[in-house]
Amino acid sequence: MTIAIITHSDCLKHEMGIGHPERPQRIRAIEDQLITSGIGDFMHYYDAPLATPEQLELAHSRKHIDYIFGKSPPDDSMMAHIDPDTFMNEFTLQAALRSAGSAISAVDKVLGDKTEKRVFCNVRPAGHHAERDAAMGFCFFNNAAIAARHAVRDYGLERVAIVDFDVHHGNGTEDIVGDDPQILFCSTYQHPLYPERALPSKPGFLINAPLPEGAGGAEFRETITEHWLPELNAFKPQLVIISAGFDAHLEDEMAGLRLVEADYAWVTKELRKIADEYSEGRIISLLEGGYDTSALARSVVAHLKVLMNI
């Protein structure tokens, strides 16, 4: 099976300073590994469009949207500080709009013109920490929440699942969709670790499944099997959206989990089974974290190979 890749060169122009872990090389490393692995020839490539302010309002308040637009620096002489580790250069706004636009475009491809079944958005900045009224944690707009709300509002879906295996909890996604009966949010993450905002699980709405520092593949697989899969099967999602963060890899120094490529392949296979059973195979995967570029690129390829049934 082929897979669509949505990306844009604007995502390479967003910079948050020398030495910042969220850097353009992340995208380049993935692109290089797609070529090296040989699977790049079996993909359909698309440019990410710019999300409109109206589309951003699917997940964010107008006040937040206006704030981010207003903070955008006019030139390269300055950088805007959003929080202690989240910054904007003159290209950040365009990149963030491309990231959100990629998620919207992915929904259109699998539900609208139905040209694709599975889509990976190789974009940055990521989105899962962006709350309805706040940017934080390297994130400005919540791509996953925007995509899910777009699928519900504009295509009439009744049940959309967002699943997040980033090493950090998807607090922004929880904030936006945690009480939405049409969207099930499942998250696994290291605890304790930034941002420490996870709420108790609420079956049918929100499933938070924390892992302790040092946990590896066995604990990860047990947690997914025990907490995610029963809820996903009960929910029967018509679309699966993955917040695909790869910073739980043992080579990634951002945190302390010990996953490897085989673990990402395993969870992707389990999610593919869910999508094949209830969603006509439709899966949208959105890049979130992953800061060791080699581990990130290898893990993305392992993830995509399973989505492609290779």
Token duo for residue 182: 């049409």
pLDDT digits 0-9 by tens, 221-232: 999 999 999 999
Cβ atoms of residues 98 and 48 within 8 Å:
yes
pLDDT at residue 53 greater than cutoff 90:
yes
pLDDT at 76: 86
pLDDT at 253: 97
pLDDT at residue 207 greater than cutoff 90:
yes
Q: How far apart are CA 168 and CA 190, in angstroms?
A: 6
Q: How far apart are CA 123 and CA 156, in angstroms?
A: 26
Taking CA atoms, 271 is separated from 8, 71, 276, 277, in Å, by 26, 38, 9, 10
Concatenated DSSP letters of 106-161: HHIIIIIS---SEEEE--SS--TT-BTTB-BTTBSS-HHHHHHHHHHHHH--S-EE
Cβ atoms of residues 137 and 164 within 8 Å:
no
pLDDT at 1: 86
pLDDT at 170: 98
pLDDT at 77: 85
Cβ atoms of residues 128 and 22 within 8 Å:
no
* Global pTM exceeds 0.75: yes
- The catalytic position among 14, 129, 168, 227 is 129
DSSP-derived pairing of the beta strands 183-190 and 206-211: parallel
pLDDT digits 0-9 by tens, 126-165: 999 999 999 999 999 999 999 999 999 999 999 999 999 9
pLDDT at residue 297 greater than cutoff 90:
yes
Other CB atoms within a 10 A radius of the CB of residue 198 amount to 18
**Active-site residue 60, yes or no?**
no
Interval 65-93 mean pLDDT: 96
pLDDT at residue 292 greater than cutoff 90:
yes
Interval 237-263 mean pLDDT: 98
